[in-house]
């Protein structure tokens, strides 16, 4: 499934077992776009990728204590206009911000440059959707709605049926 090109949006995701990874934003391909890099040495920064080349580190923040080898963290990245903002572990203050007007729309892709790091709970919010159920600040997204699996209902139903049978048998004996 290919998503439409995004313009103003946010991506909320978890990085588990942090090593070296990030996310491509407004990418036309793997060779162009803005990339947020998260490293287990405590560095958080942006790259402008074009024609297959990595640019310089931009908006570098060093020594972020929660960015350590093997750490689990939650990230939220907002892209509004030409401004890219990254929030770490639910903070309402951006850890790093970058402004670049070159890419106005594009795709989102996860970037993993490690052996064992994984991503989880990836959600994309399109700010151009009429009356979105969220604000434009990190941390204001609603908690996901938990929907039980059909097997949960089947388990619950069989438990209730078992109680009914047990109750009827108890009445016949008493």
Query: What pLDDT digit, counting tens, does each position of 120-156 carry?
Result: 999 988 876 554 444 444 444 444 455 556 666 677 7
Considering the domain boundaries, does residue 140 fall inside one? Answer: no
In a domain, 151, yes or no: no
Range 69-73 average pLDDT: 92
Q: Is residue 135 part of a domain?
A: no
**Euclidean distance between the first and final Cα of the chain, in Å?**
61
Does residue 159 fall inside a structural domain? Answer: no
What domain range is 94 assigned to? 9-126
Task: Using pLDDT thresholds of 50, 70 and 90, give the confidence band for residue 167.
Answer: confident
CA angle 86/94/136 to nearest 5° reads 80
Secondary element (H or E) of residue 24: strand 20-29
What's the whole-model pTM score?
A: 0.71
Distance, in Å, from the CA atom of 134 to the CA atom of 139, rounded to the nearest integer, reads 9
Q: What is the total count of domains within the chain?
A: 1
Asked if residue 13 has pLDDT above 90, the reply is yes
């Amino acid at each position: 499934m290919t998503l439409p090109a995004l313009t103003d949006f946010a991506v909320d995701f978890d990085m588990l077992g942090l090593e070296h990874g990030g996310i491509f934003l407004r990418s036309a391909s793997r060779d162009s776009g803005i990339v947020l890099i998260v490293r287990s040495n405590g560095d958080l920064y942006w790259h402008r990728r074009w024609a297959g080349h990595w640019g310089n580190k931009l908006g570098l923040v060093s020594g972020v204590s929660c960015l350590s080898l093997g750490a689990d963290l939650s990230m939220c990245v907002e892209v509004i206009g030409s401004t890219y903002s990254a929030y770490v572990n639910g903070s309402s203050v951006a850890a790093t911000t970058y402004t670049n007007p070159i890419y106005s729309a594009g795709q989102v892709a996860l970037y993993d440059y490690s052996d064992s790091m994984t991503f989880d709970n990836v959600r994309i919010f399109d700010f151009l959707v009429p009356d979105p159920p969220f604000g434009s600040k990190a941390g204001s997204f609603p908690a996901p709605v938990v929907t039980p699996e059909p097997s949960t209902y089947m388990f619950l139903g069989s438990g209730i049926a078992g109680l009914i049978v047990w109750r009827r048998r108890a009445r016949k004996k008493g």
